[in-house]
């Protein structure tokens, strides 16, 4: 785990939204990446895995469903900007601390690994485990 | 100034802003402020950056950003040295860019780099004659900008991939195609700072000693991986430990530094990768004196760009202090070299 992994989910990352909550996610890679690089967004809150269908990525003032990220080769996540991972969770109790586990996988598009005839982007994984309160 | 027959032309020093990857995440960061500080601390004159790191919206950069950057270089005396581009062959899910797409991907990056005043650009390539010829055409359209493929560990001057590119370079014979040697390929030891960081993360001394022993063995990379995989679990290596130590085997190469001379004629930029400066002011894992000798003997007078990469595993030191320490070491080595010309 490198220094930048500590930054992925900061202490003030959790926010209430109209229909649930949002987490500010920061990059553990050193450069900006296209949205196609957001390959693994594995979020559990208080031991419960959040369904992909309930998550959207909000970045550059736009909202993307998880399947839409696969087409986001021309939409850039600037390295210093957090994106919001918005989760539909009606009734989410922001008055309590929450145990957040976030498995994040970035596909690094210029580092290709694997056999010569099946090369694919390196998966740079990061895991954050935090107890957060809403801010 | 009077010059004598014994005056030796020396490389120039410089810094890549990549060295300051953690510093750019601190409150109050601006690229302009960081560049000013490079100048104030005397860490130029060469100034290198990673476009996708330092420039929002890169390679689509506004004319205002370009002109501000050029004016700042003029004001500070810094000289754009090289733009680190990226060839994101895997930018689409499930497929790689083809050759034509790859050239189209690099072209705006090259144009932006040129507009900002960089004389050299660098990225990976598609290792075919047609791709490199297409690259040369783009470089020619952009003021004969030079391109320096980076030879970075696990690559070395005699790796099959590099031998193939060396052949293609000779065949195409363009002065615009060159190399960027990276010191990571020619190290004599595993960085002590890396070992310390791994031990602090909970790895046992026996495990890190095994990794060092395997690194030092005269075997191929697959043989190193095989031995390490066979022996490390018994020493308590977790899957995460295995990943980190396999990365250590990959990211630090044991090429004899004298062998940089084989490609010196086409060197257009140099990456002085480093991982620490010890209490005597030396880099404990790299024979910088020999590398400087090889560069000077080979007639290289371009930039040696300081590239601190210890930030990948520690935030206990300042990137600024590290780069300043390496510059002090280089100034000493270059002045000794000049004195003995």
Closest CA of chain A from B91, distance in Å: 5
Q: Is the model's pLDDT at B10 over the cut of 60? A: yes
Query: Which residues of B are the active-site residues?
Result: 152
Of B90, B123, B240, the CB nearest to A109: B90
Mutate to test the interface with B, among A1, A3, A37, A81 (most CBs of B within 10 A): A3
Residues 6+ apart with CB under 8 A from B23: B29, B34, B318, B319, B320
Most distant CA atoms of chain B, gap in Å? 66
Strands A48-49 and A38-45: antiparallel
Q: What is the DSSP string of B78-145?
A: -EEEEEE----TT-STTS---HHHHHHHHHHHHHHHHHTT-SEEE-----SHHHHHHHHHHHHHTTT-
Average pLDDT, rounded, for chain B: 95
Q: Give the model's pLDDT for residue B4.
A: 47
- B contact set with A (CB within 8 A): 18, 21-22, 24-25, 29, 50, 52-53, 56-58, 86-93, 96, 123-124, 201, 240, 311-315
CA distances from B256 to A73, B129, B135 (A): 40, 29, 30
Mutate to test the interface with B, among A12, A79, A107, A127 (most CBs of B within 10 A): A79
Contact flag B96-A70 (C-beta cutoff 8 Å): no
Where residue B3 falls among pLDDT bands split at 50, 70, 90? very low
Of A7, A33, A110, the CB nearest to B25: A7
Q: Is the peptide bond before B59 cis (omega within 30 degrees of 0)?
A: yes
What ipTM describes this predicted complex? 0.97
Question: What average pLDDT does the segment B131-141 reach?
Answer: 98
Where residue B6 falls among pLDDT bands split at 50, 70, 90? low
Contact flag B90-A120 (C-beta cutoff 8 Å): yes
pLDDT in tens, B165-199: 999 999 999 999 999 999 999 999 999 999 999 99
Q: Which positions in chain A touch B88 (Cβ < 8 Å)?
A: 34, 109-110
Q: Is the model's pLDDT at B90 over the cut of 60? A: yes
Q: Give the model's pLDDT for residue A74.
A: 97
Percentage of chain A beyond pLDDT 90 is 93
Prediction pTM value: 0.96
Percentage of chain B beyond pLDDT 90 is 92
pLDDT in tens, B106-131: 999 999 999 999 999 999 999 999 99
Contact flag A7-B53 (C-beta cutoff 8 Å): no
Q: Using an 8 Å Cβ cutoff, are B32 and B325 in contact?
A: no
CA distances from A56 to A22, A80, B102 (A): 9, 20, 30
Q: B261-300 burial, b if ≥16 CB within 10 A, otherwise e?
A: bebbebbbbbbbbbbbbeeeebbbbbbbebbbbbbbebeb
Query: Token pair of B264, please?
Result: 């010196």
The SS3 call for residue A68 is helix
Which residues sit opposite A102 in a β-bridge? A43, A128
CA distances from B185 to B46, B157, B257, B265 (A): 22, 9, 8, 18
Closest CA of chain B from A82, distance in Å: 12
Question: What average pLDDT does the segment B5-20 reach?
Answer: 90
Contact flag B53-A107 (C-beta cutoff 8 Å): no
Q: Is the model's pLDDT at A111 over the cut of 70? A: yes
Q: Give the model's pLDDT for residue B188.
A: 97
């Amino acid at each position: 785990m490198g220094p930048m992994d500590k930054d992925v989910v900061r202490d003030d990352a959790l926010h209430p939204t109209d229909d649930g909550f949002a987490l500010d996610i920061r990059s553990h890679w050193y450069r900006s990446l296209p949205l196609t690089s957001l390959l693994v967004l594995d979020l559990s809150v208080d031991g419960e895995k959040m369904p992909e269908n309930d998550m959207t990525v909000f970045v550059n003032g736009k909202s993307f469903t998880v399947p839409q990220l696969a087409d986001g080769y021309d939409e850039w996540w600037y390295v210093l900007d957090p994106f919001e991972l918005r989760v539909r969770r009606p009734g989410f109790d922001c008055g309590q601390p929450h145990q957040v586990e976030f498995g994040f996988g970035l596909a690094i598009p210029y580092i290709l690994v694997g056999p010569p005839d099946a090369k694919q982007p390196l998966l740079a994984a990061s895991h954050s485990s935090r107890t957060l309160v809403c801010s | 100034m009077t010059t004598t027959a014994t005056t030796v032309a020396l490389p120039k020093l410089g810094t890549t802003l990549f060295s300051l990857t953690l510093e750019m995440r601190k409150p109050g960061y601006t690229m302009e402020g960081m560049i000013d500080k490079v100048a104030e601390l005397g860490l130029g004159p060469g100034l290198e950056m990673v476009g996708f790191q330092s420039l929002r919206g890169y390679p689509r950069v506004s004319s205002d950003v370009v002109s501000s950057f050029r004016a700042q270089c003029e004001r500070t005396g810094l000289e754009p040295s090289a733009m680190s581009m990226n060839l994101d062959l895997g930018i689409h899910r499930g497929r790689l860019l083809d050759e034509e797409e790859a050239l189209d991907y690099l072209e705006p990056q090259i144009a932006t780099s040129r507009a900002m005043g960089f004389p050299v650009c660098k990225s990976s390539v598609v290792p075919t004659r047609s791709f490199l010829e297409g690259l040369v055409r783009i470089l020619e359209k952009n003021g004969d900008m030079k391109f320096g493929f980076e030879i970075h560990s696990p690559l070395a001057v005699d790796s099959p991939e590099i031998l193939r590119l060396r052949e293609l370079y000779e065949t195409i014979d363009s002065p615009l195609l060159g190399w960027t040697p990276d010191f990571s390929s020619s190290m004599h030891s595993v960085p002590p700072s890396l070992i310390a960081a791994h031990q602090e993360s909970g790895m046992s001394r026996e495990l890190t000693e095994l990794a060092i022993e395997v690194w030092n063995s005269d075997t191929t990379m697959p043989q190193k991986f095989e031995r390490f995989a066979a022996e490390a679990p018994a020493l308590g290596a977790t899957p995460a430990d295995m990943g980190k130590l396999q990365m250590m085997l990959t990211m630090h190469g044991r090429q004899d530094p004298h062998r940089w001379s084989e490609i010196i004629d086409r060197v257009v930029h140099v990456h002085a990768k480093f991982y620490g400066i010890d209490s005597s002011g030396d880099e404990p894992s790299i024979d910088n004196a020999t590398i400087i000798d090889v560069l000077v003997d080979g007639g290289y007078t371009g930039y040696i760009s300081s590239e601190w990469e210890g930030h990948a595993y520690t935030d206990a030191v300042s990137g600024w202090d590290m780069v300043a320490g390496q510059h002090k070491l280089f100034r000493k080595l270059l002045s000794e070299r000049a004195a003995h010309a």
